[in-house]
DNA sequence: TTGCTTGCAAATGATTTGCACTGCT
DNA sequence: AGCAGTGCAAATCATTTGCAAGCAA
C-alpha cells in the first residue's frame, strides 16, 4: 500500500527523480541509502517545504541525528534546499533541478509554507533587476528567493 | 565625537526617526530608553542588516540579554525587522515605515547582507503576481521579501 | 577490509527566561 | 508607590557532533 494508486506517468517521474538523486550523490562518493531515499520521497510527496518534525511524522522511524545528517548530505549534493524563516524549525524542499522554479506563501502565524508560481515574464524582470543591482557592487548572483508573508486561510479563520 | 560631522539634513532625519520610534513605543506602553535608542541608532547608521554580535561590536556595553529583549520589543512595536537566513545569527534592520522598501543581496559564504532597490514598476508586477497567487488559496498577504543569494565581492575574491 | 552510514548519547550555541534590583513617572 | 527596564546567571531547544557498531563495494 505504498506505490499503488499512482498514475503511470507519475510512477515514471518518481523513478527519474530517484535516479537523478542517485547520480548526484554518486558524484560526492555518497550512497543513496534507504534513509536518504525516504527523505527524498517524503519531500517529493509533500509538494511543499517541510520541517524535520513534519518529515518525521510521515515516517515514524527516523532518528533525528541521522535525518539531520542526511538532509545535510542531500543539501550539499544539491538535491534539497534548506529554508529558514523566523520560526523554530528549518524547512526543507527538493532543490531546483528536481522541481520547477517557484516561490512561497509563508504564514507568519503557523509558519506553514506553500508553493506558488509566477509568470515567466515577471520572473525575467525580477531576475534582470536583481542582476543589475548585483553587478553594481560586484556581487556574484546564484539564485533569488521571493516569498509572500501573511496569514494562511486557516490561521486567518482561527483569528475569527 | 558622536553627532558631529553629520550634514544638517541628516541630523534632522535622525531626530524624526527617534521621534517616530518614541511614538510607536508609547503606543505599547513601552519607553524609549537609552539602550533602545542605541540599538535604533546603530541600525540606522549601518544601512544594512546587522547581527547581534555586529551590533555589539559598535557598542561595547550591550548586555546580550537586554539587547535581545529590546530588539524583541522594537520588533513587536514594528520599529525593526528580524531576518533569518541559514546562518548562525539572525539579522536586524529598521522596519519599513522607517526605511524605504528594499531587498537584499545575501552572501552564502559569509552571510553578509546588503540593501538593494528595484524599479518601482518591477515591484508592482511582483506584488500583483504574488497577490494573485495568494488570492487563489485564500492567503492574506502582508508583505513580500525578495533576496538575491550569491557571493559578495570579498568572498568571491577570497576563493581566488 | 576499507570507508560510508547509522543511531545513541552528549555537546553546542544562539536565543530566551527567572529573578532581584534600578529607575522612571 | 508602582510598574517598566536592566543584567546576571541559568534554562531552552533545534541542530550538530563523537563514537562504536553495521553495512555495502
Phi, psi for residue B139 in degrees, rounded to 5: -95, 135
- pLDDT score of B8: 58
Of B131, B138, B143, the CB nearest to A149: B143
Q: Cβ(A85)–Cβ(A147) under 8 Å?
A: yes
Domains and CATH numbers, chain B: 1-99 (1.10.10.10), 100-160 (3.30.1490.190)
- pLDDT score of B2: 45
Of A132-136, B6-10, B104-108, minimum mean pLDDT range: B6-10
Query: Between chains, do B140 and A151 touch, taking CB under 8 Å as contact?
Result: yes
* H or E segment and range at residue B53: helix B52-58
Chain B nearest C-alpha distance from A74 (Å)? 16
DSSP-derived letter for residue A148 is E
- Cut 0.75: pTM above it: yes
- pLDDT score of A2: 46
Query: Between chains, do A117 and B133 touch, taking CB under 8 Å as contact?
Result: yes
How many other CB atoms are there within 10 angstroms of residue B129's CB atom? 23
Per-residue flag: A74 CB under 7 A of strand C: no
Three-class secondary structure of residue A38 per DSSP: helix
What whole-number distance in Å separates Cα of residue B51 and Cα of residue A111?
22
pLDDT bin (cut points 50, 70, 90) of residue B1 is very low
C-alpha cell at B101: 522598501
pLDDT bin (cut points 50, 70, 90) of residue B59 is confident
What whole-number distance in Å separates Cα of residue A42 and Cα of residue A55?
7
Distance, CA of B48 to C1' of C25, in Å = 36
Q: Length of chain A in residues, anyone?
A: 160
What whole-number distance in Å separates Cα of residue B146 and Cα of residue B130?
12
CA distances, B70 to each of A66, B30, B56 (Å): 37, 10, 13
DSSP-derived letter for residue A97 is G
* Rounded-to-10 torsion of CA A110, A67, A58, A60: -120
Q: Which nucleotide is nearest to B34 (CA to C1')?
A: D5
- pLDDT score of B158: 86
Residues in B closer than 8 angstroms to A125, CB to CB, are: 122, 125
- pLDDT score of A58: 87
From first to last of its 160 residues, chain A has per-residue pLDDT tens of 444 455 555 568 889 999 999 999 999 999 999 999 999 999 999 999 999 999 999 887 889 999 999 999 999 999 999 999 988 999 999 999 899 999 999 999 999 999 999 999 999 999 999 999 999 999 999 999 999 999 999 999 987 7
CA atoms within 13 A on the CB side of B102: 20
Amino acid at each position: 500500500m505504498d506505490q499503488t494508486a499512482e498514475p503511470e506517468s507519475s510512477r515514471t517521474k518518481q523513478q527519474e527523480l530517484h535516479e537523478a538523486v542517485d547520480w548526484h550523490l554518486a558524484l560526492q562518493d555518497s550512497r543513496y541509502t534507504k534513509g536518504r531515499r525516504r527523505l527524498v520521497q517524503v519531500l517529493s510527496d509533500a509538494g511543499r517545504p517541510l520541517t524535520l518534525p513534519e518529515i518525521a511524522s510521515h515516517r515514524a522511524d527516523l532518528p533525528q541525528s541521522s535525518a539531520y545528517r542526511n538532509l545535510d548530505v542531500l543539501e550539499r549534493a544539491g538535491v534539497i534546499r534548506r529554508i529558514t524563516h523566523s520560526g523554530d524549525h528549518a524547512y526543507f524542499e527538493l532543490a531546483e533541478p528536481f522541481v520547477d522554479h517557484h516561490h512561497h506563501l509563508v504564514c507568519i502565524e503557523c509558519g506553514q509554507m506553500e508553493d506558488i508560481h509566477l509568470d515567466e515574464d515577471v520572473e525575467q524582470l525580477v531576475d534582470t533587476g536583481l542582476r543589475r543591482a548585483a553587478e553594481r557592487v560586484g556581487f556574484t548572483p546564484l539564485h533569488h528567493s521571493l516569498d509572500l508573508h501573511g496569514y494562511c486561510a486557516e490561521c486567518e479563520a482561527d483569528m475569527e
